[in-house]
Structure 1
Amino acid sequence: MATLSRKNSDRNNSADVNNELFKGSYRGNPAGITNEIAAAYDLMNTDKKNFNVTIWYNSTYKDEFSTGPVKLVRVPRSINQISNAYLKFLKGPGLRILFEFVKEVPKHATRFNTDIASLLGPLFFTWVVLLLFPVILTSLVYEKQERLRIIMKMHGLGDGLKYFRLNSYSIQFVFYFIYLNLQIAIGFLVSSIFSKVKTVTVVAYILVYGTGLLGSFLFQTMLENQSFPEEWIVALELYPGFSLYRGLYEFSQYASRGNGMKWQDLSDSGMGEVLCIMSIEWFLALIIAFYIDQVFSSGKHPFFFLNPFKKSSSIPSKPTVQRVDSKKVSIDMGKIDVSQEREKVQQLRNEGSAGHAILCDNLKRVYPGECFGMLGPNGAGKTSFISMMTGLLKPSSGTALVQGLDICKEMNKVYTSMGVCPQHDLLWETLTGREHLLFYGRLKNIKGSALTQAVEESLKSVSLFDGGVGDKPAGNYSGGMKKRLSVAISLIGNPKVVYLDEPSTGLDPASRKNLWDVIQRAKQNTAIILTTHSMEEAEFLCDRLGIFVDGALQCIGNSKELKSRYGGSYVFTMTTSLEHEEDVERLVSTVSPNVKKVYHLAGRQKFELPKQEVRIAEVFWAVEKAKSNFTVFAWGLADTTLEDVFIKVAKSAQAFISLS
């Protein structure tokens, strides 16, 4: 039997009663009309000997904050009504139970709890804690955008992802500890998707404020709705922001009751569920972030974890066989020095020699204590080579050994003995020069007083010590100061191998000379590969030089060998008035029949004189004789410079490549 307002109506089962009650709500009918029913009763299990009744009652109030008798009397009145009906059924219509009123048991007055955490905590605390996420994520993507992460790895950074009043303090500590570590792990994971700081900042803050608003106006409603499926709640809590909101919501609910949350309350609340979900997500996020970093950043095979104990040989058992393009055979045939270098490298690889700091497939060998200079025009492949040697680019073929370690298979081990000064300075704008050196020194496992001393010496060696320059933020440094700091970072910790990509770019002459002295001292125990466009720098610092054009090595040797091999002539220069230019040409032709004019501008002429045809004494005698016939403003005789060699080799190689 079901009792309805203004009329009584029987239904066959409780499902029919539920449907009838729902139709009385404005949400339960298409017209949106409110016709709510006061109460309904289920007497299916009641007979003359047993009184067993289920009551549906209306819990909607006109005033949500009302504390009057309407709340207190509604349920007892429904019980009184059905009890009277049952007694009349048994004893007749003259019997009834009188219901006067309901009164609370006397007690001491209680203060209304206006705890801010209970009222506003779930929304604003979610925002406050989540605000750390954009900060963490922005820092991670900034390191990715500016390539600071790979620079830290080159200097020894490992692959580990290093990184209120009423409620129980221990529960709060565990909750915030797990969530903050989960947030850091999620930051590493999400940072792999983005490459620009501005983009990730906007997305992160949208997630923060969106999570707070959705949690306050949607997720909380779902939590308080008893009919909402528990499985959907768990599914939503898989998103870390909603897990945070659920935890704060549970804290606020227990705090509003006056006793707060204790450990024994975890099973009765959703906090135990939240802690379990966040712990599992923290573990999974770390694993996935580590996997993505190894595959996409370190270049490992996607299934590298299947053979964790397999040892890779540092020296390949067989030399790498590469297919040589037939068009380049004729080029290599004429490069005797390059061919000899290739044969030596191949022989050393077959022998498994570990006495070389750097051993490149078909390219070069570099000894400890040697500075190898790479020269070449823009686009020749110098920076690309260093990028491959430092792990920024993966070689398309061939390999290289650094301290006996293969860069294609053991790059993480290579990083422990490497220093890098990139072409573009990769520095944190907010850190001082001293802080940069302290950080990278710790990565090289320098500690205590040794670290302090190493930092002081590094700052002095690159002229960043005096005047407190080393204690100023790197963002305030000039271009030359940033370059000097990058060189100091690459040399701290005495690495076995150092790559310097145009280290003196933007330096004034005094600073350049000081930097050269630093590199000269550093190369005593270090193998250095240096790229530069300064011929003076190359001659001063480099023990051997290689000239690259279009990604290929054109020649190799020390400065004197290259000048002798590719020079072979003196450079004679004379400046006169315009009317005596022909006299100068006749003068030079008498000294060397095979003279070649290479420069002519406004009376100034430059000639190449083959060394086998010229005696220096004869040149001086001819010039002195010419001075008696016409006025000579200036003249000079010089040996072939490294710049002349560079221009000659580059031009001839480019001409041959264009013809091919």
Structure 2
Amino acid sequence: MRNGNRPNELASFWIQANALLRKNLTFQKRNVKTNIRLIFFPFGLCILLVLLQNLLNNQFDKAKFKCGCICTKTQGERCLENQCGVQFSDFDQVGACPITNPIEWTPLLQIPDLRYRAVRTDFLQYSDFPNPLCRINGSCPLTMLFTGTNQSFGEVLSWNMIPSTFGINNTDVMGLATNVMGSASETENTNFLEPAFFSDRPVYYLQSQCNKNSSFSVPIQISTTSIQQELRCAQALRLWRNSSSEVNNELYKGYRKGNAERKINEIAAGYDFLNSNENILNVSIWYNSTYKNDTGFDLIALARIPRSVNLVSNAYLQFLLGPGTKMLFEFVKEMPKPKTPIKFDLASLLGGLFFTWVILQLFPVVLTSLVYEKQQNLRIMMKMHGLGDGPYWMISYSYFLAISFIYMLCFVIFGSVIGLKFFTMNDYSIQFVFYFIYINLQISLAFLLASLFSNVKTATVIAYIGVFGTGLLSGFLFQFFVQDNSFPRGWIIVMELYPGFALYRGLYEFSQSSFSGDTLGTHGMRWGDLSDSTNGMKEVLIIIFLEWILVLFFAYYVDQVLTTGSWKSPHLFLKRFQKKPSSSFRKTSIQRQGSKVFVMTEKPDIRQETEKVEQLLLEPTVNHAIVCDKLRKVYQGRDGNPEKFAVKGLSLALPQGECFGMLGPNGAGKTSFINMMIGLAKPTSGTAFVQGLDIRTDMNGIYTSMGVCPQHDLLWEILTGREHLLFYGRLKNLKGSDLTQAVEESLKSVNLFHGGVADKKAGKYSGGMKRRLSVAISLIGDPRVVYMDEPSTGLDPASRKNLWNVVKRAKQDRAIILTSTLFSFSWFLKHYQVVALISEKG
């Protein structure tokens, strides 16, 4: 079989790249349904978010969230006076209605919950702390720590801070301002409604000493609504310490130590009077800054800390001017606000988790595609037909990058078109940089991890477990560490070294920026925001960029060492500094194993072939395409079994234009010999030369002039027979009319041309049709050396006869080695110059 003119030179880098790109594009075109399912997931998720958002908006559009009017004065059934705005019978309106005159709230201190008030513990051994039994009956006082250079002066001020009596002038909330009030309720985003007066927890008033009956309820009038507020006495325990370091140690040693409530020991406040005296007031105040709402906004410092400052100022004035002097802190109130529709953007709130899954689902797609090529030996098959590592990496990487980029582009465009604030409010250039770097890292990681898997199903299951596990761990564990300001930032960075957490952190920052921007009516993330110390996007971009470069390097390194079939040393990149071993013919007539020397006893015909090989090694000639010199393959024994000798010192010299047939039963070593010659297995000892190149060191050069029909068909299930031959023909530097002619002749020679068979997917071929296609692939491009491992398996007698006629015509100007177990020795000897009969022992 002739396939047009023999190519004058090897296929160039760009010709190989073009062949692989055309094959990948054809493969992608056949995967339309898979691509639709892939893109439908983010589209469906975005639509689901829009539907949920509309449902939520409809709930917020109800009357109870809207401003209205109520009648405050009636005469019979007629309303004489209306009051419009927030109706305090329904406090849900506060978030949306305009509030021109916010309520004036009595100033409060932030105090620890009754369960967490400081007592003596194993880590706080001070004797002046309360007995732990006070937690049982709920009588623990509020501990305040004081220090300073002048103890007598400081103790006087501390006593002036806490009153000894309680009084209320009227039922208005302002009547409580003359007392020292406190609450364990945490602040909200705003102070239009003080949480202390709208929760189940009591409001405390601080006293030097509490009486037995010190709890009662008082009516408090808020606008047109009257509520009953429970007030309880809380004893303030003043403890003096010798230095600020002691105060600092007690504050932090007892704060949320461990998970058990008995280990939580919170101090209400700390005061350092420094160098204060009757002429100067200089005070440092400790307060618990960890009480923050979901947005991380510290409203404690704005609404609750001013009362602490007022207490010290008041105490100092009383020290100077007498106990009757007071600087009354009347109220705390929020700034007025206009009408603000309630906004609750689900896409921003849930985007970190959902969009992590959307982006990560590309990872199993890339990984399984690479593992499929490895499992089916398609990568090594392409390499054996001349595809270099450079074109493979460039096209494969660019191919997956293009798919990922188009996927992400469609995702962002679709999300923006339907109005998701997650996309529209954040700068698109930041989103582009973040997504582009991450998909590159994800592809590089898939190339690296593909070397660990040999089965597509295993890779798929583990990849999807990783996808959903990463999303869940990020959303329900990693996010809490990010939001906890007490958690060390260094450990956050360490956790972000895991690419899944880095992805989630970036999406989390986008979510927070769009959510706060939409709520506050500002913008989302801009480049200038990256300099903010609370914004983690800058560190994430640096981490994923550096990881991309490093992972890509290691992926290429591992691929060269493990998966290309070249059997390169792990010291691959150091070898260029070492002296390369000679690959020329050399005499290797004596075999050594350990310290023993084996002199092989051979039959006359074997000895004759061995002497011929040794003579060729001394006087090399270009007439012999294949020279095997005592090629040997031994498989190590397992589970106590002895070593298995697959090939025992095979010597062979095969000239051009000759077909060499190897006959033998299963297990005789035929496939092991072929695998060593084509680079799938490494020889235990000995070597072979193909066109003068050593199979141990020069397989890349051998591949360019070699054709292979492996024992098992290595085909893409969704490519047609014609597309297979076009691809491998391009790898053999065929182009234009020569390529078309070669493909047609190949299809005709193996009876795959007529009846539309050539354009059917290989997955729909019968076993015999696949074998014929594999034979055609091995011969296209006129390779100088061809290996056929049992090419007639599965063929009917007519196809088998036709196959041997094809092989007989194809042996001109090339060397062919084939194996078989199906033909009689006499028939084979009649048609071929050389036949080797191999015993079961190799």
Whether TM exceeds 0.5 here: the answer is yes
State the SS of the aligned residue for 1:546. strand
**Are 1:80 and 2:329 matched, yes or no?**
no
2:809 paired with 1:545: no
The reply on whether 1:483 has 2:771 as its aligned counterpart is yes
Q: Structure 2 residue aligned with 1:254, among 513, 523, 539?
A: 513
Change beyond 3 A, Cα 1:449–1:165: farther
Q: Which among 355, 358, 366 is matched to residue 125 of structure 1?
A: 355
Partner SS, residue 195 of structure 1: coil
Report the equivalent of 1:98: 328
| 2:625 and 2:815 in contact (8 A); partners too | yes
- Does 2:698 align with 1:410? yes
1:290 aligns with 2:290: no
CA distance in 2 between partners of 1:60 and 1:94 (Å):
35
SS of match in other structure, 2:747: helix
Q: Partners of 2:612 and 2:694 in 1: how far apart?
A: 18
C-alpha spacing 1:498/1:318, structure 2 compared with 1 (3 Å): closer
Using the TM superposition, give the Cα deviation of residue 402 of structure 1 relative to its aligned residue in structure 2, in angstroms.
1.2
SS in 2 for 1:484: helix
2:504 counterpart of 1:245: yes
Q: 2:587 — aligned with what?
A: 319
Matches of 1:537 and 1:99, distance apart in 2? 114
The answer to whether 1:387 aligns with 2:655 is no
Q: Which of 228, 233, 250 matches 2:487?
A: 228
Question: Match of 1:53?
Answer: 284
- With over 3 angstroms needed to count, the CA separation of the structure-2 counterparts of 1:279 and 1:142, relative to structure 1, is same
| Alpha-carbon offset, residue 403 of structure 1 | 1.7
1:341 maps to a residue whose letter is E
C-alpha distance in 1 between matches for 2:511 and 2:811: 64
Task: Say yes or no: does 1:166 pair with 2:430.
Answer: no
Describe how 1:604-619 pairs up with structure 2 within 5 A.
none
Task: Tell me by how many angstroms 1:219 deviates.
Answer: 0.8
Task: Supply the distance in 2 between the matched residues of 1:537 and 1:174 (Cα, whole angstroms).
Answer: 68
- Contact 1:37/1:58 (<8 A) preserved: no
3-state SS of paired residue (1:96): coil
Structure 2 vs 1, CA of residues 275 and 23 (structure 1 numbering), >3 Å: closer, same or farther? closer
Task: Give 2:620's match in structure 1, choosing from 337, 352, 356.
Answer: 352
Q: Distance in 1 between matches of 2:432 and 2:734?
A: 34
SS of the residue 2:838 aligns to: strand
Corresponding residue number in structure 1 for 2:537? 271
Mapped contact 2:725–2:743 kept (Cα < 8 A): yes
- 2: CA distance, partners of 1:292 / 1:65: 45
User: What is the deviation of 1:221?
Assistant: 0.9
* Change over 3 Å in CA distance of 1:171–1:326 after alignment to 2: closer
Distance 1:66 1:408 in 2: 63
3-state SS, counterpart of residue 361 of structure 1:
strand
Quote the RMSD (CA, aligned, Å). Answer: 3.5
Task: Select between 528-537 and 201-210 the one with higher mean Cα deviation.
Answer: 528-537
Contact 1:46 1:53 in 2 (8 A): no
The separation in 2 between residues aligned to 1:58 and 1:296, in whole angstroms, is: 54
1:352–1:328 CA distance, 2 compared to 1 (3 A): closer
Name the CA distance, whole Å, in 2 between partners of 1:551 and 1:481: 33
Distance in structure 2 (CA, Å) of the matches to 1:398 and 1:240: 46
Q: Is the 8 A contact 1:312 1:409 kept in 2?
A: no
1:357 partner SS: strand
- Following superposition of structure 1 onto structure 2, how do residues 30-41 of structure 1 map, counting pairs within 5 Å? 32=262, 38-41=268-271
Q: Is the 8 A contact 1:26 1:32 kept in 2?
A: no
8 A contact 2:290–2:485 mirrored in 1: no
Aligned partner of 2:524: which letter?
A: G
For 1:498, which of 775, 780, 786 is the aligned residue?
A: 786
Distance 1:434 1:208, change over 3 A: same
Alignment of 1:566-645 (within 5 A): none
* 397-406 vs 48-57, greater mean Cα deviation: 48-57
User: Do the aligned partners of residues 108 and 511 (structure 1) sit closer, same or farther apart at CA in structure 2, a change above 3 Å counting?
Assistant: farther
475-484 vs 442-451, which deviates more? 442-451
Q: Partner of 2:364 in structure 1? A: 134
Amino acid of the structure 2 residue aligned with 1:49:
I
Measure, in 1, the Cα distance between the counterparts of 2:839 and 2:756: 43
- Aligned in 2, Cα 1:26/1:177: closer, same or farther, shift over 3 Å? closer
Helix, strand or coil at the partner of 1:352: coil
Gaps of 5+ in 2: 1-144, 147-157, 163-205, 207-234, 398-422, 518-522, 631-650
* Farther off after superposition, 380-389 or 459-468: 459-468
Partner of 1:573: none
Partner of 1:648: none
- Given that 1:122 and 1:249 are in contact with CA atoms closer than 8 Å, whether structure 2 keeps it comes out as yes
Q: Distance in 2 between matches of 1:452 and 1:322?
A: 50
Higher RCO (CA-CA < 8 Å; seq separation 6+): 2
After superposition, the Cα gap between the structure-2 partners of 1:477 and 1:237, relative to the gap in structure 1 and judged at 3 Å, is same
Q: Give the alignment partner of residue 449 of structure 2, picking from 190, 208, 212.
A: 190
CA distance in 1, matches of 2:770, 2:827: 19
Q: Distance in 2 between matches of 1:240 and 1:175?
A: 12
Q: Secondary structure at the match of 2:424?
A: coil
* 8 Å contact from structure 2 (residues 441, 548) kept in 1: yes
Q: 1:515 aligned to 2:746?
A: no
What is the rounded CA distance, in whole Å, between the counterparts of 1:468 and 1:441 in structure 2?
20
Normalised to the residue count of structure 1, the TM-score between the two structures is 0.74
Separation of aligned partners in 2, 1:196 and 1:418: 28
Structure 1 stretches of 5 or more lacking a match? 553-660
- Structure 2 contact 291–300 (Cα < 8 Å) conserved: no
1:218 aligns with 2:477: yes
Distance 1:65 1:394 in 2: 61
Is residue 2:817 matched to residue 1:529? yes
CA 1:233–1:64 in 2, change beyond 3 Å: closer, same or farther?
closer
Matched, 1:462 2:750: yes
Q: Distance in 1 between matches of 2:492 and 2:736?
A: 52
The answer as to 2:719 corresponding to 1:431 is: yes
Q: CA separation in 2, counterparts of 1:66 and 1:328?
A: 82
- Aligned residue identity for 2:812: Q
